[in-house]
Each structure stands twice: as structure tokens, then as C-alpha cells.
Amino acid sequence: MSMNKSLISLLCLFFCAKIFAAGIAPSLTDADLNPEEFYSLRVEYPSQDKIMPANIKNTFLFGRVYQKDSKLTVNGQEVPLYKNGSFLTYQPLKTGENEFVFEVLSPTGTEAFTRKVIVPGFDSEKYENSYKFDTETIFPTATINLKAGDSVNFPVYASPNKKITLSIASHKDILMNENPETPGLYETRIEFTEEDVKYRSQKAVYKIMGKAGKFKNKVFSKGKIRIYPKNHILAIGKLRKQNQRLRPEPQKGEHILETRLFGKVKITGQLNGFYRVLLADGQDGWLEEKFLKTATYFNAPKNNAWKVDLQEEENKSVLTIFNNTKTSFKTEQTPVGFEITLFNTQILNTPQEGLKTSLFKDISFTSIQDEAQKITLNFDRNSQLWGFDYGYQGENLVFNFYHAPKFNLTKAKPLNGVKIVLDPGHSPKRVAPYDGAVGPSGMLEYEINYKIALKTKEKLEALGAIIFMSKEENEYMPLARRQEKVLSEQAHLFISLHNNALPDQVNPISRPRGFSFFYYYPHSYTFAEAIERSFVRHIALPDDGIIQRDFSVTRSSPQVPAILIEHVYLILPEQEDLLSQDSFIEKLANATAQGVKDYIKEVAKKTASANK
């Protein structure tokens, strides 16, 4: 049954409005397969009524215009269209509800659509002509326990363009600074001293001052602050779950590289729902309160490491530290060795000689102010650490250090026998918010990642590699399980394949963007380097470089060199278009395969040199 063009246009307008209101991408309907027959415009991001990060000032919007020879405006400003009708624009935001009006100007007429998003936070315009505080955000909202020498940033939201003061402990009527980019946000940093210790628990007092020097308004924080002497131990914490990781700041984000907590720990501070854990003098970090049970009657007995042993086994060196109790430790890889620092530990019967393997030429011991012991394993000049893992066996801490594999490579099969796990990033989800990125034309990251993985698999297998996929295309796979085949298949390398996006407030068109490579453990860096060099030679996009980042998929595979590749920025119209071309997918796969080939060639050369 046929319909005239105007009726179809009306139905399309109605259908688009329904989709916009729902804020979802429908699942493989006719509209997905042939969007140009159903849509004048489809906005992929942001979804309708999306709650944005608090107080952000800008965001990007992207989608696609399907009518040919059209123009697009957003809130009255023309937005350039890519050759396939895709668009990307960066728009200002204000606190509260924001409405974006999209107008498509085509030869057949003009159609208008709206998209609303909400920015939570402080709306300074509502407070413009008053003397008010935002009482919901008065800092601190909960108890803070710190020590002399600590400094804390105090923020408060209040009527803009006012004189705001803060008083806390010995710091009286400190003038706060208004943030020039966020009117109504006032901040000041207070460094506490021994003088503040005598004030015991205090609430912060904020005042809005009038012209005559008298305050117009005053509020008190809900939470109290107490300052303790510099060397004070607030409490002893007992871990509810072992093998926890510390953060450098009392907030969600990346962790301190490879610091692991076991047993009981000393607590020296409390801030923002975190406890500060003291490891040794000058070494501490933050752990969420929920992971610790605290009490003043707990004790943290010193661990005695009564023996250290290093043995060579097949394809690995094994270090065993014999303890009388589990203790916290940290590891650090350097260009010349591998360091293990045991906290709250003393080493008895330190061996003087004879501890060496083909990977490590010797081992040394250093005391750190009687609070910690550092064990340094120094690499043999021609050796290469392939990976490592560790774990407690009873009370004894055991490290396995894996040697570089010996491959039987041939000219015809330069990756002969090399086992590689390919991890196509993200899992199936066709409803917003998606698992992974989405492009302006609606390309979903999990689908294109899998397509790239299949082509990369083909190229690597042609060179003799043995490939294991971490998941199938329509299989949901949580992050915690993606590295399983590294161990079950005794793989040699791990590569996670992705395509990039950006946080809301970052301007995607502020600079050229392209491919990037991520690693976590230092032994993976040279692998990332080899892949990067290959991409620079074969892919005509900007190089965003090699970045160390605390990603689960690379952190969870310490046994092998493990990297994550961001091939392109899926949210950029021209780069999404590249991903729609089979010839470009082939280039990406060839670049990765060539990089792996180059890396394994260098490994084989170094291994051969070490065996001479």
C-alpha cells in the first residue's frame, strides 16, 4: 500500500517525536535498517530528559539529518553537516532545564524538534538579588577527622557577587574567593596547624557580609571538623574484605598503582566518606569507609618476614616471602627491577647471596624507618619481564614472575604459536544509555568493536597466531571476566578493542583527535609502543599517544602484556563514517597485526640474545 509523501512526512514527524520522548534507540526495526525512510532528523545524544553532570557549562549534541540538501540549526545557529548528514555541535548549558530546538530546513519545508536535558546544581540567577546560601551543599555535610598539617578546600554556594567569609577553629572570618567561571561558587583552602588541635570538634561558619561590615546571613555546616596532632592514630581498621586498593585522594577515581591492603591498618583521617590509611611515614592513601571496621581497641601487630626465597621454575621465577601474618604491600616496576614494599614488617634472617635466576641477577633489602621493608629484585641485563601475579598462600606471600616466551617463529608464519586474547569492548545493549559509545549515525560501539575484532583475528591468524575471543558478538560479558581466557588458554598477549568518546563537558572539536593506546603495568608499555608505531605508519589520523590508565581489562591481566586500543573517536562524524567502510576496518586490523608482529620480532631477538 503506498502513501503520498506529505502523509509519510507527518507520520515520520510523529514517530520521531515519540522516539525523542522515549529517549531510546529502537531495536532493529525497519526504522533502524532504513532510517532515511522514517526520519528527517535523529538525535543520538543526549537522550531526552537526560540528567547531566552537576553544574557543567557545555555539552556536545550529535545525530543525523536524513533529508538531502538540508540545513540544520540548533537554537538558531547553523550547524555544519557532514557529507552523509551527520552533525556534531558543542552547546552552552545552564543549571536547570535546557531546551535545544533543532530546525531542519529542506527543499520541502522546515521541521522543528526539541530535546531537553537537565543540569542539576546551583542556579545562581535565582539568588542574584538576595543574600542566600544553598543550604543543601554546605561543606562539610558529615564528620571530618584530620591532623595538623592537612589542608582542605572549603566550597560553598551562595548569592553571586557577594563578600563571603569562613570561620573554622583558629581561622576566623577568612575571605573566600568567588570562582570566575561559576558565579555563586566560593572557595578557600585552609591549612590546619597544631593551634587548631585545641578547638576539638567545630562546625564551619559561613557569613554573607553587607556593605557596613555586618553579616546579612550566616549558616553552619552539618558536619563537624576535628583536628588531631600530627602523629595521632585515629583508630585501627580491620578490613571487611582483603586485597583492597587505595586511592590518592578521598574521592572516586583512579587508585594508587598496586598498593594492596591486608589484615589491619592504621587510620589517620576521615573525609568525604573515606578513611586515610597510614602505610609508612609519608606514605598513605584513602579507602572507602564501607571497607573498614574501626575500633580503638584493635591492634596492628608487626609482621615478621622470617625467610625470603627465590627459585627458578619452568618459564618463571618464584619469590616466596614467609610471614607470620598477612600484611599490606605495594609493588613497583622500574626499568631496572621490581620492588616490593612490605608495610608494618621487619625482615629476619636476611639472605646475603645466592638468590638469583635468569630473570633477576640479585636481590637487595632496605629498611624504611623501621615501619616497612623494601625488597628489590634487579633484572638481569638481557632479561625481560613478561608479566607477574601474586597471592597469599596461607600467611606466605608468593610472586610468580613470568619470563618472555620462546616462540618457534618462521618466515612464513612470523607469529607462529603466539596465543592472543582479543577482547571486543562492551556488550549488547540497544537501548540508551548504551553499553559503550554511539556515533552520530547510530553506530553502536559494541557492534563495530566486534567487527574490527573479527578482521583483526583474520589478519593475526594469517601470520600464524592462535586467537581466542573474550566474547561472542551478542554475548554479555562483564569486565571482571574478560581476562579469563588469558589464564585458561595460557595466552601470551591481551588486546582490548574499542572506539572512543568523551565526557560531556569536553569540547570534541577543540583539537584534532585520533587513535590512542592504554596500558596499566609497565611491562605492557613496549607492547603499546609497537602498536602505536604501526598505527602512525598505516592510519592517517592524529596520534593521541600512549596513556597509563587504571582500566579493569588491562589491570586484571598482569600475567601478560595487555593493552587497550581506541581506534578512532566514534562520536566524530568523519571518523564514524570511516568505520562504516570495510577498507578502513581492514587498515585498522592490518595496523594491529603489523604492530604485534613487530613486537614479537623484538621479543624473539632479545630472547635469542639472552640465551647466547
Which pLDDT belongs to residue 434? 83
Partner residues linked to 22 by β-bridges: none
Residue 38 has pLDDT above 70, yes or no: no
User: Could you report the per-residue pLDDT of 350-375, keeping only the tens digit for each?
Assistant: 766 778 999 999 999 998 877 899 99
Parts of the chain belonging to CATH 2.30.30.40: 235-295
Residue 148 has pLDDT above 80, yes or no: yes
Which of 90-99, 152-161, 429-438 shows the lowest per-residue confidence on average (mean pLDDT)? Answer: 429-438
- The CATH code that applies to domain 419-606 is 3.40.630.40
pLDDT band at 32 (very low <50, low <70, confident <90, very high): low
3-state secondary structure of 66: coil
Which pLDDT belongs to residue 15? 38
- CA atoms of 239 and 88, how far apart (whole Å): 48
The sheet carrying 86-92 orders its strands as 41-45, 58-65, 86-92
Q: How far is CA 363 from CA 333, 401, 549, in A?
A: 14, 14, 29
Parts of the chain belonging to CATH 2.60.40.10: 5-119
Residue 436 has pLDDT above 70, yes or no: yes
Q: What share of the chain is helix, strand, coil (3-state, %, to 5)?
A: 20, 40, 40
Correct CATH for 124-143+150-226 of 1.10.12, 1.10.10, 2.60.120, 2.60.40: 2.60.40
DSSP codes of every residue in 456-525: HHHHHHHTT-EEEESS-TT----GGGTTHHHHHTT-SEEEEEEEE---TTS-TTSS---EEEEESSGGGH
- The CATH code that applies to domain 303-403 is 2.60.40.3500
Given CA atoms 21, 24, 26, 32 in this order, what sign does their dihedral have? positive
- CA atoms of 177 and 85, how far apart (whole Å): 46
Which pLDDT belongs to residue 281? 84
Enter the C-alpha cell of residue 32.
533502524
- Which amino acid, one-letter code, is at 81? L
Correct CATH for 5-119 of 3.90.1560.10, 2.60.40.10, 3.90.1300.10, 3.40.50.970: 2.60.40.10
Partner residues linked to 555 by β-bridges: none
Enter the C-alpha cell of residue 157.
554556594
Correct CATH for 235-295 of 3.40.50.300, 2.30.30.40, 3.30.365.10, 3.30.1510.10: 2.30.30.40
More confident residue, 199 or 534: 534
pTM summary value = 0.90
Averaged pLDDT for residues 200-215: 91
3-state secondary structure of 556: coil
pLDDT band at 28 (very low <50, low <70, confident <90, very high): low
Provide the H-helix boundaries in 28-130: 30-33
Residues in the chain: 612
Residue 116 has pLDDT above 80, yes or no: yes
More confident residue, 122 or 319: 319
User: Average pLDDT over the chain, rounded to whole?
Assistant: 90
Enter the C-alpha cell of residue 149.
598539617
Averaged pLDDT for residues 519-547: 97
Which pLDDT belongs to residue 317? 97
In what helix (H) or strand (E) does residue 444 lie, and over which residues does it extend? Answer: none
- Which amino acid, one-letter code, is at 316? K
Strands 274-280 and 515-519: unpaired
Which pLDDT belongs to residue 104? 95
Q: How far is CA 339 from CA 244, 247, 397, 480, 598, in A?
A: 19, 20, 14, 27, 29
User: Could you report the per-residue pLDDT of 491-513, keeping only the tens digit for each?
Assistant: 999 999 999 999 999 999 999 99
Averaged pLDDT for residues 272-295: 93
Strands 77-79 and 58-65: unpaired
Closest CA to 387 of 468, 465, 481, 494: 494
Parts of the chain belonging to CATH 2.60.40.3500: 303-403
Strands 360-368 and 177-178: unpaired
Which pLDDT belongs to residue 8? 38
